[in-house]
Chains A and B, each alone.
Chain A
């Protein structure tokens, strides 16, 4: 049973460029959340997708957008990259509608290390 998979593992981009990160949830999971983890910090919630809709959003600018596909996989897009966007981006999946008990347990992928130069 594959866990949460993220691609690519590492990425280097130039300021101003756009980037797309991908996530496949754990088998049987239907909710995907994205987190940004700066060096030496804890992960920060970006947004959460369920039934192909953004359900919750953290304190991130509109440059950060996402999408969830019918197969529950998800993409995180970041436009107009800034140096400060350099971080580890983590995808987490869970099962069940947000608000339901089973939804609390999230499984994380290995992350995508984004470096903006």
Chain B
């Protein structure tokens, strides 16, 4: 079963716009991570946020975590065509086991 649920399932935006996607999860977590996947290939790690952190930035990425609501959001600012991909959130237990959601498909058009 999937731990996280991403919302929306699909997102279509134009270059330069911001993209926001949300993730909800069910159980307590050690940390939450976001990954990108291009065309069914391998997963690229984007950012990790620990359970005691509320917000984290990495370049054009901003992640928030609300453990009371069991939710996280990923914001991509000033999107580019190269950001077209599927984005997954994954929760990690203390042993490193990752549980993924079904992902958000993002299409950025020039």
Contact = CB atoms under 8 A, between A and B. Distances in A.
Contacts of B30: 104
Interface in A89-112: 90, 92, 94, 98-99, 103-111
Interface size bucket, A side?
20 to 34
Interface in B60-110: 88, 90, 92, 94-103
Interface in B1-30: 1-2, 4, 30
Contacts, number: 74
A31 interface: yes
Contacts of B31: 104
B45 A42 contact: no
A103 B95 CA distance: 7
Given A41-B102, A104-B48, A105-B48, A111 B42 contact: yes
Contact of A42 (B48, B88, B92, B95): B88
A86 interface: no
Given A42-B88, A42-B103, A106 B40 contact: no
A39 B105 CA distance: 13
Contacts of B4: 42
A105 B97 CA distance: 10
A88 interface: yes
Contacts of A113: 40
Contacts of B88: 42-43
Contacts of B92: 104
Interface of A: 4, 31, 33, 35, 39-45, 48, 55-56, 58-59, 88, 90, 92, 94, 98-99, 103-111, 113
Listed from nearest, the 7 A-B pairs whose CB atoms lie closest are: A42-B100, A110-B42, A108-B43, A98-B95, A103-B96, A108-B42, A43-B100
